[in-house]
Amino acid sequence: MIELREVWKSYIMGKVEVNALRGVNLQVESGEFVVVLGPSGCGKTTMLNIIGGIDRPTKGRVIFDGRDITDYDDNALTMHRRKNVGFIFQFFNLIPTLTARENVEIAADLVEKSRDVEEVLEVVGLKERASHFPAELSGGEQQRVAIARALVKNPPIILADEPTGSLDFETGKAILGVMREINVKEGITFILVTHNSAIAAIADKVVYLRDGKVERVVENLSPVKADEIRW
Amino acid sequence: MKSGGEILRTKLIRDIRTQKGLFIATTFILFLGVTIFCSFYLSYLNLHDTYESFYESSDFEDISVRAVEIRNEDLERIKKIDGVLEVQPRIAVHGSVYVNGRNIPALVISLPENERINRLYIAEGEKGFAVLKKFADYHGLTTNTPLVVNFGGVKYTNRISALVYSPEFILIFEEGGETFTPSPGSYAIVYVPEDDMVSAGMKYSEVKVRVADEDKKEEVLRKILAVLGERVEEFHTDETQVSRRLLKEDLDGFQALSVMFPAFFMLIAIFSTYALLSRIVRLQMGNIAILRAIGFTRKEILSHYLHYPLLIGFFASITGVIAGFIGSCILTTEYVNFLNLPYFVSKPHLEIYAASIIVGTATPLLSGLVVAFQASRVDIVKALRGYVEETFSEGLTVKFDAIISRILRIRLIFRTALRNLVRNRKRTAISLFSIVACTSLILNSMVFVDSFDYVMQLQFGKVYAYDIKVSLDGYDEKQLLEEIRRMDGVLLTEPLVETSIAVEKGGSVASTLLIASNYQNLYNVYNADGEKIVPGKGIIFSKTSMKNLSLVKGEKVSIYTEFGKLKAEVGGLELIPLLSVATTSLDYFKEISGVDGFNTIVVDADDSRIGEIAEKIREMDGVRKVSTIQEAEKSIGELMGFFYAFITFSLMFGASLGFAAIFNTTSISVIERSREFATLRMLGYTPREITLSLIFESVFIGILGLAIGLPVAYATAYAFFTSFESELYYLPMLIFPRTYAFTVAAVFVVVLTALFPSTKHISKMDIAKVTKEVVS
Ligand SMILES: Nc1ncnc2c1ncn2[C@@H]1O[C@H](COP(=O)(O)OP(=O)(O)OP(=O)(O)O)[C@@H](O)[C@H]1O
Ligand SMILES: [Mg+2]
């Protein structure tokens, strides 16, 4: 459902050109749980942002569901995000003036056939704390809100950038468990970016990124459950 | 390697550069405040010094008395009064000058060989037959131009010898004129050598006196009045001389304005600096903690953050003082040109520059100190854990929000906008305060426009219902009235008496213009509520001009008139707009003065023939002056130019102040919420939707600000307006609905344009970058 063809991303910093991505080729099938691994600075976030339509490649093509979104203008990209993409960040990026429920609602508000907010909150195990403000929630709980927010729009794909990065081991595992479960039960495609190689064990497909290039792609034929991994 | 201090300095400059707009806006507010203070106060001092210098150098009168006739033996007796320094008698009569094919009414004054009091300042030429410089300029007259002057039945012809200025006529005030201060096109002051006037058979009618001791002035005046007895028509001291009094009132208003106006700006500047600096400090909590952790002292941090307000203050003060100086030059020059002043005095007044710089620097420093102190006290351990989003918890807001959203059924994104108002209460308070200040400034300027408009409409729409006013030489012109009545194109005529009187009660005196008429149609007196006053027995006085006398309806008072001292009954007291005339019936006037006649005829004429009829009447014998309402309206228009320029100027300042202040708070709020906006963009909200929510927020603040601002503005406008109250005229305070509409529109324009740069920030935002940042 997603295809990156020879994607380049360069940043001009004064006289120096930084190439965050240098010809990435990638194919992700519908319903897959993909983990992107790589050292810091290799271009993981950049790649994810390009897939999600919050950034544009310098060169190359991005194909989403058979449509080439590379040359979409700002408005078209916004509509693409609205309909097709759920995001989860390392820093949860919740809106502090909205309660957990409202943070989900504000996303639900965007699509015509959104999922039921209460149901989604139940899926991420946050029903009881739904009327709390972000400042009153723990990191793990905030990340659950972020997952619920991504989920509620009922997007075909969810992109997660270091979703466990600011969480402790146990909480991190629980969050991964929730995501994998959603992936399996509802068939939503996940691309999860991390530099934690232990997480690779739960994936259907592992993409190794190095210096802005895909080093190798490994199909994992027997992924383990989230609560079985260790790091 | 760079030292710690140097690095901090580099940081300072970079911080300012990244927040350019905000720093400029804050500096701009302060700059406006300093500029206004400096230019206004310097102008005030310049004008004050100029007036004083002119009065001083020309030996301005201490006492002036006008009487039916002043004889030589009176003068001898006055000279002998204890405390009298100089005595100068003179002739002053109403007449006219023939200029450019037209007779212009004039006050003709004798010029003695040896001027001792109210000496003229000669701008051009030599002492002799003279006219005011401004009058000459207006009509294109120069020295040596021959001029014909009519006075007391004599036709006097002479070549202009001098163009002059007189301390008595810095501001010309014509009693009974339809315009407030007559333009040189409609009124002249002419000086004829005394010998020429005496040989034409004229007699002294005024005596000017200077005293040795200011404190004895009242006593000397009383003795002079005793000498002249029943013949006294009018008298005043230097302080009550109309022109000087008007100037003084004007000057006092100017001084009040030069403090009050900038105080507004300074207040806003304090808040703006506070908002700006606390935002910088809040964003830099982490950096501050790191600096403290690696060994910077509290004092160094404090001093670092004090540099921001210091820089703002210093820059604003220096530029403000320069602009203020330039402004004061322009303002003084304009003012002096508007008046009849030969020169202006401009002393260096270093103390004002110093005060401006001190106040301009201290103002931001004050709010800066609070913030810098907080910065230096940062809890290192806590702050190092990173900046935590400010908490927001359930409370009044959410309930309020729930109610609003139930009523309006608004989308969640708009509700976040409402919650933001409560989230950062300080910012909301500053925004509201800015709107209140902006509203007040606009309304405070507009109240003068509206009130003036109202009285002008009343005056020219209802009071002066005539087209032509004819002032006569004497009171015995029944023939003339008949003639005018029969003229072609004349629709209606009405006789009336128009004469200046002074009322005395308990040692105090107040002068006013008396209109006696039978009030049929053409000349009406209205009170401030717009009700027509119809006098019966007694004289109805204006409360304003008689303020010091505490008159009581029904009592008898002494009045000084052109027929000498008379007794009259107070028929009532009313608030009368503008020139505060007194009014009575022709019958009552006849009863107290014994004069059965009139000295003025008002005429209603066929509109298309007004000019022609006025010209014809001008040629008739016994006519002293003819004025038309059309001309009066025209010259009021000229007068108002200056006034409107001033109002426009203050409106512009009000709007820029509002813009700068609201721009500051809005931008801060948007920058602080960058991450939220990026998140919304990431979710798929369009820049348009986010902008709409911001507009919604701004409009809401605008409505709230106006709800507080309009009553506050009304109250301040009222206080401001009444502080300009005068005994010489009365202006009822009025604000038209259109002005409220204008104010509301102006506030929304300001609020929304201040948002504009922020909305650009949102559509250009790099979502990828912002969402990636841990808030730094
Ligand atoms: N806005 C930018 N301007 C310049 N260079 C950038 C920008 N964003 C990213 N880079 C550079 O691009 C490269 C890839 O960045 P990216 O954030 O994608 O790395 P990453 O793999 O996500 O790293 P990490 O695991 O540390 O998050 C890095 O070298 C980074 O310095
Ligand atoms: Mg990254």
**ipTM for the complex shown:** 0.80
Only one residue has tokens 């801060």, namely B668
Q: Is B626 inside a domain boundary?
A: no
Owner of token pair 């990244």 = B18
User: Which residue of B676, B682, B776 is the best one to mutate when testing the A interface, meaning the one whose CB has the most A CBs within 10 A?
Assistant: B682
Q: Are residues B109 and B257 in the same domain?
A: no
The residue whose CB lies within 8 Å of the most ligand 1 atoms, and thus the one to mutate among A22, A37, A44, A196, is A44
- Flag whether B466 is in a domain: no
The rounded distance, in Å, linking the Cα atoms of A142 and A100 is: 8
- Who contacts B384 (Cβ-Cβ below 8 Å, separation ≥6)? B286, B289, B290, B293
Task: Give the position of tokens 């943070």.
Answer: A103
pLDDT of residue B55: 94
- pLDDT tens digits for range A98-109: 888 888 988 888
* Cα-to-centroid distance, A180 and ligand 2 (Å): 21
- Per the DSSP assignment, residues forming a β-bridge with B730 are B578
Tell me the chain B residues in contact with residue A46 when contact means C-beta distances shorter than 8 Å. 768
CB-based contact A81:A53 (threshold 8 Å): yes
Mean pLDDT of the region A37-62: 91
Collapsing DSSP states into helix, strand and coil, what is residue B146?
strand
* Local structure of B276: helix, strand or coil: helix
Say yes or no for a CB contact (<8 Å) between B684 and A135: no
Cβ-based neighbour number of residue B697 at 10 Å:
24
- State how far the Cα of B573 lies from the Cα of B580, in Å rounded to an integer: 11
Do strands B490-505 and B556-561 pair parallel, antiparallel, or not at all (unpaired)?
antiparallel
Query: A134: which chain B residues are within 8 Å (Cβ-Cβ)?
Result: 389, 392
Q: How many angstroms away from the CA of B317 is the closest CA of chain A? A: 37
Same-domain pairing of B222 and B349: no
Provide φ and ψ at B578, rounded to 5°. Answer: 60, -110
Closest to A81 measured CA to CA, from B767, B689, B675, B685: B685
Query: Quick check: is B669 in a domain?
Result: yes
With 90 as the cut, is the pLDDT of residue B11 above it?
no
Q: Is A74 helix (H, G, I), strand (E, B) or coil?
A: helix
**Could A107 and B683 be called an inter-chain contact, meaning their C-beta atoms sit closer than 8 Å?**
yes
For residue B351, the enclosing domain spans 1-60+239-388
Is B391's pLDDT higher than 60?
Answer: no
Residue B5 resides in a domain: yes
Do residues A139 and A171 lie in contact, with contact meaning Cβ atoms separated by under 8 Å?
A: yes
Residues B243, B230 within the same domain: no
How far apart CA B266 and CA B317 sit, in angstroms, is: 12
Ligand 1 centroid from CA A43, angstroms: 6
Residues B412 and B500 in one domain: no
B380 and B269 co-located in one domain: yes
Residue A41, ligand 1, Cβ within 6 A:
yes
Sorted by where each starts, the structural domains of chain A and their CATH numbers stand as 2-228 (3.40.50.300)
| pLDDT over 90 at B119, yes or no | yes
B494 and B602 Cβ atoms separated by less than 8 Å: yes
| Alpha carbon separation from A76 to A70, A80, B680 (Å, rounded) | 10, 6, 16
Kindly state whether residues B447 and B433 are assigned to the same domain: yes
User: Of B388, B405, B438, which closes a domain?
Assistant: B388
The separation between the first and the last C-alpha atoms of chain A, rounded to the nearest angstrom, is 31
CB contact under 8 A, A54 and B685: no
Does any domain span residue B627?
no
Residue B394 has pLDDT above 60, yes or no: no
* Higher local confidence (pLDDT), B153 or B357: B357
How large is the angle between the packed helices B425-458 and B737-764, nearest 10 degrees?
150
Residue B343 resides in a domain:
yes
Find out whether the beta carbon of A224 lies less than 6 Å from any atom of ligand 1: no
Q: Is the dihedral of CA B636, B639, B645, B650 positive or negative?
A: negative
Query: Which residues in A93-112 are b (16+ Cβ under 10 Å) and which e?
Result: bbbbbbbbbbbbbbbbbbbe
Residue B422 and residue B274 share a domain: no
CA A221 to chain B, closest CA, distance in angstroms equals 32
Query: Does the residue B452 lie in any domain?
Result: yes
**Same domain (yes/no): B549, B599:** yes
Domain boundary among B345, B362, B388: B388
End-of-domain residue from the set B185, B217, B238: B238
Chain A residue with CA closest to B767: the answer is A54
**pLDDT tens for residues A60-78?**
999 999 999 999 988 888 8
**Interface residue A81 vs chain B (CB under 8 A):** yes
Tell me, yes or no, whether B606 and B723 share the same domain: no
Which residue from A27, A18, A20, A79 is spatially nearest to A49, judged by alpha carbons?
A: A20
CA angle B446, B448, B452 (to 5 degrees): 120
Question: In b/e form, how buried is each residue of B37-69, taking b as 16+ CB within 10 angstroms?
Answer: bbbbbbbbbbbbebbeebbeebbbbbbbbbbbe
Number of domains in chain B: 4
Which ligand is the nearest neighbour of the Cα of A42? 1
Residue nearest to atom 27 of ligand 1 (CA): A40
Mean pLDDT of chain B: 85
Give the side-chain half-sphere CA count within 13 A for B66: 17
Do A213 and A200 form a contact (C-beta atoms < 8 A)? no
d(Cα A205, Cα A63) in Å, to the nearest integer?
19
User: In this predicted model, what pLDDT tens digit does every residue of B429-457 receive, in sequence order?
Assistant: 888 888 898 888 888 888 888 888 888 88
In a domain, residue B425? The reply is yes
Residue ranges in B459-577 assigned as alpha helix (H): 478-485
Alpha-carbon distances, residue A57 vs A3, A6, A24, B185 (angstroms): 13, 10, 10, 77
Q: Do A97 and B389 touch (CB under 8 A)?
A: no
> Which among B102-106, B155-159, B280-284 has the top mean pLDDT?
B155-159
* Residues B337 and B243 grouped into a single domain: yes
Q: How confident is the model at residue B204 (pLDDT cuts 50, 70, 90)?
A: very high
For chain B, say whether A43 makes contact (Cβ under 8 Å): no
B246 and B344 co-located in one domain: yes
Is residue A18 within 6 Å of ligand 1 at its C-beta?
Answer: yes
Q: Are residues B606 and B642 in the same domain?
A: no
Contact A40 CB / ligand 1 (< 6 Å): yes
